[in-house]
Amino acid sequence: MPTPITRIGVLTGGGDCPGLNAVIRAVVKDAASHGIQTIGIEDGFLGLIENRVRPLTPADVSGILLQGGTILGSSNKANPRKFACGLLPDGTPKIEDRTDACMDVIRSHGLQALVVIGGDGTMSCADTFVKRGVRCIGVPKTIDNDIYGTDLTFGFSTAVQIATDAIDRVRTTAASHHRVMVVEVMGRNAGWIALHAGIASGSDIILIPEIPFSVDHVCEHIRKRASEGKKYSIVCAAEGAKMAGGSAFVERVVATSPDPIRLGGIGKALSGMIEEKIGVESRYVVLGHVQRGGTPVALDRVLATQFGDHAMELLKFGSGEAKDMDAERGSRLVVWKDAKLGDIALTEASNKQRLVPLDQPLLAAARSVGTSFAEG
């Protein structure tokens, strides 16, 4: 018989996201009701590296359901296997493997399992500990909705709503001044936010990373609309969208980060190209981190609560597809697949991304109402 779970750790890794607190709340309250103590690990895996943890009780999570962000803090720069800890004499980052130190912290606090809430990078970090014998339950979090194996992640619906509201507001000023407005939304490699917000807002052109675009085709669609008496156009562009034969627009490079490339700039560049090519006044808006902040919408609160509940079910009883309780087989990722809760092996989601497939029905739906993807 497997040893009953009595003490677990929970952490939130990667970027912040609406709904994180709802998951923490569900985990802590469910755990407490079954006599399981929860230890909160601060600032993602950085808390393991630096031994910064604290007990969490139901009183600590009372009232946090509707709060954005995470009460535990987060970090997207703390990969234990590749931890940047200063600079070498030549100015390059000094990288160390701090996995052993993290294992010492896990053992010293008697943690029998970890609930790891995060995106693809966080799941890849968790896989490191699974291989060292630590049982991990992953809860998929990202506004980009790009975690492999799940149709939906919490935080996505809030980000789409924020982007849609912003585009709705931009539309009125675009119409008043007969301008082209380019709205740059998040989405490094996956265009789910741009696709959903673009359709929801009635954007005239949607640009996503999966479909390289042509500036000439963007301009051609704007001209076509003008010839039909439509004096303004809205372009919804994912930050990772790229021109055919080119690469994504890079804002800057952070050498000390595990993910050093910071995308951005497509809005500014594209609005300038449109003005130069066809002489139509253009403006751009970059939504940026606005999409990750604030109160989660109802759908994300519900989904996050369900995810937290299912994570605890997996810890208490195991998966129907993986009855063994050893770390490798007992480490699972909570997923929403085919409109129901489920779980897959955590390793399945490691180092993978769920991109918009070219046969995605939403692409056809958008095209049917006259939306252009300006394919190159």
Q: Which residues are catalytic?
A: 144
Which of 80, 82, 74, 60 minimizes the C-alpha distance to 11? 74
Rounded distance between C-alpha atoms, residue 43 and residue 185, angstroms: 26
Residue spans of beta strands (DSSP E) within the chain: 7-12, 37-41, 53-56, 83-87, 93-96, 113-118, 135-140, 180-185, 205-207, 233-238, 250-253, 261-263, 282-286, 332-337, 340-345
Question: Is residue 357 packed enough to be buried (19+ CB in 10 Å), middle (13-18) or exposed (0-12)?
Answer: exposed
Q: How many residues does the chain have?
A: 376
Tokens 């253009």 correspond to what residue?
Answer: 282
Which of 18, 3, 1, 7 minimizes the C-alpha distance to 290? 18
CB 280 within 8 A of CB 179: yes
